[in-house]
Amino acid sequence: MSRALVVLDPGPLTTVQDLGRRGWAHLGVPRSGVLDAPAARYANRLVGNPDDAAVLETTLGGVDLEVTAAMSLAVTGAHAVVCVDGRERAFGEPVTVRAGQRVVVGPARSGLRSYVAVAGGVDVPAVLGSRSTDTLSGLGPRPLAAGSRLPVGPRPGEPQGVDVPAVRRHDPAVLLRLTAGPRHDWYTDDALATLGGAAYTVSADSNRIGLRLHGARLARRSGDELPSEGIVLGAVQVPASGEPLVFLNDHPTTGGYPVVGVVAPEDLPLCAQLRPGDEVRFRV
C-alpha cells in the first residue's frame, strides 16, 4: 500500500511547508516556507529526514489525520496533545504508527503553530523548487481540506536521537531586535524612540503574510508618497494607520509604505508562535 496521510479534519489552517522557495523574489515570488524553522528542522531530525523535507504546519487548532502505512512521525513547535487512536503519545519525540491508525494533534496549548514531520517527508509536487504552500500567491499545494491525501516519500535514514526533547515554551511577551530600515528617516526622532520603547499587542488579523500590531503610532516627517519598492523577510512596514507590521514568509515582494526597520532573522521564529493579544517590543 502506498504511504500517505489522509486528512480527516485540517483544523483552522494546516499547510504543507518546507524551508521555502528561495531565489525568486526578483520575479515577485515570496519565499514562503515554515515560519518556525528551528521547530520544523527538529521535527525532521527526529524522524530521520533531511532539514528541508516538507512537513505540515498547523495553526492553533491542530489537525486530524489517518496514515495508510506504518511510519514514524514527530510533532514539535507549539505544544499540543498528540493522540494515536485515542491514546496520548509523546510530544517532541518520534512516534511509530501502524497502517490505518488515526493521529490527532490537538489545539495548541501554548504558542500558535505546530509542525508534523513524517519519515520520508510530505511528497507533494515541488513548484519552483519548493513544496511550500504560499497563501498570498497561491503557489504550491492548497491549504489542506478534509479528504486531502498527501503522499509520503520513501523511508529515510535512521532518526537522530536526543537525550532531552527540545521543547521551546511559548513566551507571551517577546523582544525583537531591529536594524534600522531604508526609510527610517521618514519618521521623526520621537517616533523611532517610541518604536524602541513601546509595547505592542498582536492583532487577530495577523497571518503568514505579516504580524499586525496594535499600539503607539509612529509619526512621519512628511506626508509624501513613496513609490513601490522591494521588501525583504522581516521588514517592519508602517502603513497609513501608523501602527507597524512585521512581514513574514508569505509577504509581498514590493510595497509602497516606508520600511522603518528589519527584524533580526534569528528572532523571526518567535513571531511564528505569537497569539493575538501577546506583547511585542522592539530593540533598535
| Tens-digit pLDDT profile for residues 127-170 | 999 999 999 999 999 999 999 999 999 988 776 666 555 556 67
Do 59 and 133 lie in one domain? The reply is: yes
Distance in angstroms (rounded) separating the CA atoms of residues 210 and 272? 10
Q: What was the pLDDT predicted at 161? A: 61
Whether 157 maps to a domain, the answer reads no
Q: Among the three residues 151, 181, 203, which one is the final residue of a domain in this structure? A: 151
Do 70 and 186 lie in one domain? The reply is: no
As a whole number, mean pLDDT of residues 219-225 equals 84
Do 278 and 147 lie in one domain? The reply is: no
Sheet containing strand 4-9, strands side by side? 87-89, 82-84, 102-105, 63-67, 4-9, 149-151
Do 215 and 115 lie in one domain? The reply is: no
Do 72 and 201 lie in one domain? The reply is: no
Do 107 and 179 lie in one domain? The reply is: no
Whether 162 maps to a domain, the answer reads no
Banded pLDDT at 224 (limits 50, 70, 90) = confident
Whether 165 maps to a domain, the answer reads no
Do 78 and 197 lie in one domain? The reply is: no
As a whole number, mean pLDDT of residues 186-213 equals 92
Distance in angstroms (rounded) separating the CA atoms of residues 162 and 150? 28
Grid cell listed for 242:
501608523
Q: Is the pLDDT of residue 1 over 80?
A: no
Q: What was the pLDDT predicted at 165? A: 56
Do 85 and 216 lie in one domain? The reply is: no
Q: What was the pLDDT predicted at 202? A: 97
* pTM as predicted: 0.94
We report the CATH number of the domain holding residue 267 as 2.40.100.10
Do 33 and 76 lie in one domain? The reply is: yes
- What's the chain's average pLDDT? 93
Containing structural domain, residue 101: 4-151
Q: Give tens-digit pLDDT for 10-54.
A: 999 999 999 999 999 888 898 999 999 999 999 999 999 999 999
Q: What is the dihedral of CA 86, 108, 125, 18, to 10 degrees?
A: -130
Q: What was the pLDDT predicted at 166? A: 58
Banded pLDDT at 189 (limits 50, 70, 90) = confident
Do 96 and 185 lie in one domain? The reply is: no
Do 12 and 145 lie in one domain? The reply is: yes
Do 123 and 257 lie in one domain? The reply is: no
The residue among 217, 174, 200 whose CA lies nearest residue 277 is 200
Residues 6+ apart with CB under 8 A from 126: none
Contact 116, 75 (CB under 8 A): yes
Number of domains in the chain: 2
Residues 6+ apart with CB under 8 A from 138: none
